[in-house]
């Protein structure tokens, strides 16, 4: 098991990555905890590895429903009420066992319960292990938008057991690889292509280390932490456009990590248009996306103007168009992008596809 530390001044915490990391749960729980709740989803409870998740103190298992639609305040309310009913105290511990939905919801419930109760993340999706479970951003969606209510609340530890990924669907693997593609561009001025050739344990550990370093440098999301959103401005717009107003029918079947891969290709081509990088660097982006088995093409019927509207609404944009873009010094936050350049880049992508 590889240990990565998130070096936060007041309270550093470990991210443990590897086969069997789940068996270390009891060791990372504070000795002041006398009771635990394991928050998870019904399907995960049925996986063989679930039985090994043992906090070695009295515990209850609480299920939350599956999917983004359950990542809401009603689920948090149901959860914290169950915490009261099972007698969870403020020195006890919440253990989130699942992907980003579970860690976001359980983390936010822990942040609010008694104004802050310790929690540990057992991340069971690739996306959770390389991204969502690390860094202390917790929260839920509102009908008006994603992740609009939340808190910064750091876990006591994150366990990334590679064995739990054996039950993950191909689609969810691809989703996690979209985030891994992003990490290849986040450090230094040249892409870290060696990341792609590592074993899965080393790959997760390397991504966790990059995220840990960025979070330690900027816990509350100034410009440094914003680089973690590389590829995400267009990705969020695609996800929003996939679910046009009040229809439950998705226009496109695109998962988050798949949208990030498209967002990375878009960001590279926008940076090229703005003269920040050259064609070779765009080709490197394409190479990384393709090597990870992802498709960086826009959906065929995407409407550039509609995507632009969603991007203008992005909460990272302070009323102007802000992107994380590659350049000679590596990726940076760039504000005040001309909408015409965005539309032209989207048009180029449409011509390609």
Considering the rule CB under 6 A, would residue 137 count as an interface residue with ligand NAD?
A: yes
Piece of the chain touching ligand NAD by CB under 6 A; list 40-48, 80-88, 195-203, 301-309: 40-48
Q: Which is nearer to ligand NAD, 200 or 343 (CB)?
A: 200
Select which of 71, 229, 258, 272 is catalytic: 229
Stretch in the footprint of ligand NAD (CB under 6 A) among 17-25, 42-50, 51-59, 200-208:
42-50
128 binds ligand NAD (CB under 6 A): yes
Active-site residue flag, 137: yes
Q: CA-CA distances (angstroms) from residue 30 to 91, 152, 156?
A: 9, 20, 8
Task: Confirm if 259 and 238 have CB atoms less than 8 A apart.
Answer: yes
Q: How far is the CB of 106 from ligand NAD (least distance, A)?
A: 11
Among 33, 101, 288, 308, binds ligand NAD (CB under 6 A): 101
With CB under 6 A as the contact rule, the residue among 15, 33, 156, 172 that binds ligand NAD is: 172
Judge whether 225 counts as a catalytic residue.
yes
Given the residues 213, 221, 297, 350, the one annotated as active site: 221
Residue 115 is among the residues annotated as catalytic for this protein: yes
Cβ contacts of 46 within 8 Å, gap of 6 or more: none
Q: Which of 219, 326, 343 is closest to 276 using CA atoms?
A: 326
* Known active-site residue 171: no
Q: Is 258 in the site for ligand NAD (CB under 6 A)?
A: no
Spatial separation of the C-alpha atoms in residues 172 and 315, rounded to whole Å: 26
Pairing of strands 2-6, 145-152: unpaired
* Per-residue H/E/C for the chain: CEEEEECCCCCCEEEEEECCHHHHHHHHCCCCCCEEEEEECHHHHCCHHHHHCCCCCEEEEEECCCCHHHCCHHHHHHHHHHHHHCCCCCCCEEEEEECHHHHHHHHHHHHHHHHCCCEEEEECCHHHHHHHCCCCEEEEEECCEEEEEEEECCCCEEEEEHHHHHHCCHHHHHHHHHHHHHHCCCCCCCCCHHHHHCCHHHHHHHHHHHHHHHHHHCCCCCHHHHHHHCCHHHHHHHHHHHCCCCCCCCCCCCCHHHHHHHHHHHHHHHHHHCCCCCHHHHHHHHHHHHHCCCCCCCCCCCCHHHHHHHHHHCCCCCCCCCEEECCCCCCEEECCCCHHHHHHHHHHHHHHC
The active-site residue, picked from 71, 182, 236, 272, is: 236
Is 221 considered catalytic here?
A: yes
**Selected binder of ligand NAD within 47, 86, 151, 344 (CB under 6 A):** 47
Region 61-80 residues binding ligand NAD, contact defined as CB under 6 A: 66, 68, 71
Which residue number, 131 or 337, has a Cβ lying nearer to ligand NAD?
A: 131
314 binds ligand NAD (CB under 6 A): no
Q: Which of 75, 121, 164, 203 binds ligand NAD (CB under 6 A)?
A: 164
Establish whether 297 is a catalytic residue.
no
Q: Which of 37, 39, 44, 187 binds ligand NAD (CB under 6 A)?
A: 44
Among 1, 70, 82, 167, binds ligand NAD (CB under 6 A): 167
Among positions 16, 38, 83, 104, the unique one binding ligand NAD when judged by CB under 6 A: 104
Q: Which range in 132-140, 233-241, 312-320, 326-334 contacts ligand NAD by CB under 6 A?
A: 132-140
Give whichever of 71 and 272 is closer to ligand NAD, judged by the CB atom.
Answer: 71
Q: Which residues bind ligand NAD (CB under 6 A)?
A: 41, 43-44, 47, 66, 68, 71, 98-102, 104, 124-125, 127-128, 131-132, 135, 137, 147, 164-165, 167-168, 172, 175, 256
Q: Which residues are catalytic?
A: 115, 137, 179, 211, 221, 225, 229, 232, 236, 256
């Amino acid at each position: 098991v590889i240990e990565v530390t998130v070096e936060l001044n007041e309270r550093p915490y470990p991210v443990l990555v590897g086969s069997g990391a789940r068996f270390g749960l009891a060791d990372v729980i504070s000795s002041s905890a006398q009771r635990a709740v394991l928050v998870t989803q019904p399907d995960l409870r049925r996986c063989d590895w679930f039985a090994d998740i043992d906090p070695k103190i009295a515990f209850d298992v609480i299920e939350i429903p599956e999917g983004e639609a359950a990542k809401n305040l009603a689920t948090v309310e149901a959860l914290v009420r169950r915490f009261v009913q099972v007698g969870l105290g403020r020195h006890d511990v919440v253990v989130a066992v699942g992907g980003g939905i579970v860690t976001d919801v359980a983390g936010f419930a822990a942040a609010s319960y008694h104004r802050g109760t310790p929690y540990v993340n057992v991340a069971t999706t690739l996306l959770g292990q390389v991204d969502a479970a690390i860094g202390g951003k917790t929260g839920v969606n509102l009908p008006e938008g994603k992740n609009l209510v939340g808190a910064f609340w750091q876990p006591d530890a994150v366990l990334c057991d590679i064995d739990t990924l054996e039950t993950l669907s191909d689609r969810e693997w691809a989703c996690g690889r979209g985030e891994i593609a992003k990490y290849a561009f986040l450090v230094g001025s040249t892409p870290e292509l060696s990341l792609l050739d590592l074993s899965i344990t080393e790959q997760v550990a390397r991504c966790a280390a990059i995220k840990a370093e960025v979070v330690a440098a900027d816990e509350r999301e100034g410009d440094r932490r914003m680089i973690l959103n590389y590829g995400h401005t267009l990705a969020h717009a695609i996800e929003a456009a996939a679910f046009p107003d009040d229809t439950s029918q998705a226009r496109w079947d695109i998962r988050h990590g798949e949208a990030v891969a498209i967002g990375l290709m878009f960001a590279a081509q926008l940076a090229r248009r703005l003269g920040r990088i050259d064609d070779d660097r765009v080709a490197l982006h394409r190479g990384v996306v393709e090597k990870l088995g992802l498709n960086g093409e826009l959906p065929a019927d995407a409407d550039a103007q509609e995507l632009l509207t969603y991007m203008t609404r992005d909460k990272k944009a302070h009323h102007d168009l802000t992107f994380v873009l590659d350049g000679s010094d590596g990726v940076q936050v760039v504000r005040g992008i001309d909408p015409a350049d965005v539309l032209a880049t989207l048009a180029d992508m449409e011509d390609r596809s």
